[in-house]
Amino acid sequence: MSTGKEQLDVEDDFTPAEADDAEPVVEVAKTNLSKRRTIDNLLEERRLQKQLADYDFDL
């Protein structure tokens, strides 16, 4: 059992495997933007369909 006073060996020169590759972050942003545009387009279409349904054609 550990007493909590043991010295732990830590490597200071640790480098993450994805340090050089920043592209996934950009890809996620593009995907999120694409999803947002799709949602905006669907909401706009729904709004226009509602306006069309409420329009009085007997002017």
pLDDT of the residue at 8: 64
Query: Alpha carbon of 41 to those of 8, 13, 44, 52: distances in Å?
Result: 55, 48, 5, 16
**What are the tokens at 27?**
């890809």
pLDDT of the residue at 50: 95
What are the tens digits of pLDDT across the range 1-48?
556 666 766 666 666 665 555 555 557 888 899 999 999 999 999 999
pLDDT of the residue at 43: 98
